Chains A and B, each alone.
Chain A
Amino acid sequence: MIVAERKPLEEITGFVAGAKKVLVVGCRGCVTVCNAGGTKEVEILASLLRLNSQREGNPMDVDEHTMERQCDPEFAEAFGEQLGRGHDVILSMACSIGPQFLSRRYPNERIFPALNTSFLGGALASGIWSEHCQACGNCVIHEFGGLCPISRCAKSLLNGPCGGSENGRCEVSEETECVWQLIVDKMESNGRLEELSDPRLGKDWRTSRDGGPRKIAREDLIK
């Protein structure tokens, strides 16, 4: 899923400075699962903004709404029902795709991203998420014991661990596992270490972001 986290409150209060009426919009997709922008987080942010505005002597009306999905023209269309009530600012609590869809559909509204979209990943444990994919557009994890060296190695190495791998940790941070240690362990325990022995000369990055913004068009679905 897409993992996101809320922007610092000071940044968000900056977005709404001077506003009388604000709408906070959540999303029931990935950001609900990663506890960043679902109904609960919308409620929390709205309360914080109310409190803050009262404390500053400028009480602000803050409305709450959570959409099924913000990254979908159909739901963006239906979101129109929430508008026309005099909101000065809309804060989107979806991943950054949401506010882009809403801004395109409602070009006259002032829409701000309340989250930072962080990475594609999953929860390792309650409250801990980590990056697992960089959407390179040509998945090769099956050649690396089911682990992704492109997103999980700090240098995206495809030919083995760099010289800084120590005790299973990445040279970049004690906090980060060296994915190459994990790959080697996995391949070794499966008796497949030899499969890592052929040099790979340069990945083709065209399917990645390097080839420009990407688009998928499925003939079978285009109406």
Chain B
Amino acid sequence: MTKSPGKNGFGGNLARILASGAFAVTGELGPPRNGSREDVVRKTEHLVGNVDAVNVTDNQTAVVRMSSLAACLIAQKRGLEANMQMVCRDRNRIAMQSELLGAHALGIKNVIALTGDHQKFGDHPEAKNVFDLDSVSLIGTIKKMRDEGKLLSGRDLDGDDGRPGFFIGAAFNPFADPESFRVLRAKKKIDAGADFLQSQCLFDMERFKRFMERAVDLGLAERAFFLAGITPLKSAGMANHMKNKVPGVIVPDEIVKRISGVPKEKQAETGITIACEQIEELKTLKGVAGVHLMPVEWEHMVPAIVERAKLLPRPAFAGPLADPSAPRRPGE
């Protein structure tokens, strides 16, 4: 099996950058908790030209926000390719497949299939959850629609023209337990059809390397692209919060010590330095195809980070998003 973008031409800019072998950079955009187009546009400003594609979250942490698809379309209109996230918490397989068809019709190139955070921590803990599918099933469903022109039930899509040619994304978390199953879980996602995977926030480089070594050994890095998730720490407080309060994130003591060891007003800078050092190390780590930048409420730092980490200029591939003079489909 080969990675699909090179072979089949799925996806858009991100797929082409990854296929070219260039070190990719993706970003993150959390849609606003309102219906303001302007708010989305403002969030794209720090990202255009600095990342190859942006993950647009789907009611992240189970807090109601503008829908991922709507925010993706606004971002794409600004020339920023979107990775539409889709979680299994809120919709069943009927609603999700329908949205995937719509997203394809409206020009979405990349979809990231996730299980989703439990609603317990969100703004509607009294909600009923769905979890009809899980992330692996959703990945398999998207692949089936794309490669076989079939729905999950096995029913055919009408004709071949409307097959959704998504570049399929997934998450991987080397830092959650049980560690022994983590590579197998990533493998399951790749077997189901994931073309690229982005990690949970990386702080524990040793554990990440252990994971990548096994992934490379199993040949997974030849079958899919692995991007490491980078979250710059803003303060010692944030480091402690991530360490103690966020399940599935590990912040090693050395990092907490290092950031706590500098005066408060210098902590943010240290956080950025740590992030840039990590990126530097990842550039040469076997099996790593790029980084996924996800600053928390600190999006305006992205330009400085990509600059300092020497990730600029971003490679440009001609395409409907990169080239404003190219004919646009309605909604793009």
Contact = CB atoms under 8 A, between A and B. Distances in A.
B176 A163 contact: yes
A164 B184 contact: no
Interface string A149-164: 0000011111111111
B120 A199 contact: no
Contacts of A201: 136-137, 140-141, 144, 152, 192
A181 B133 CA distance: 20
Give the size category of B's interface with A. 35 or more
B135 interface: yes
Interface residues of A, number: 34
B136 to A, nearest CB: 4
Nearest to B191: A199
Which of B116, B134, B180, B191 lies at the interface centre, i.e. has the most chain A CB atoms within 10 A of its CB? B134
A169 B177 CA distance: 9
B136 A159 contact: yes
B60 interface: no
A130 interface: no
A185 interface: yes
B181 A199 contact: no
B247 interface: yes
Contacts of B247: 164-166, 169, 171
Interface string A28-47: 00000000000000000000
A178 interface: yes
A198 B116 CA distance: 21
Which of B129, B188, B200 lies at the interface centre, i.e. has the most chain A CB atoms within 10 A of its CB? B188
B187 interface: yes
A165 B174 CA distance: 11
Interface string A96-133: 00000000000000000000000000000000000000
A160 B131 CA distance: 14
A178 B173 CA distance: 16
Contacts of B133: 202
Given A163-B171, A200-B136, 19 more contacts: A155-B115, A159-B134, A159-B137, A159-B185, A160-B185, A162-B115, A164-B118, A164-B247, A165-B178, A168-B177, A171-B248, A172-B120, A180-B178, A184-B178, A184-B181, A193-B180, A198-B188, A198-B191, A199-B188
Interface of B: 88-89, 93, 115-118, 120, 129, 131-137, 139-141, 144, 152, 171, 173, 176-178, 180-181, 184-185, 187-189, 191-192, 200, 247-248
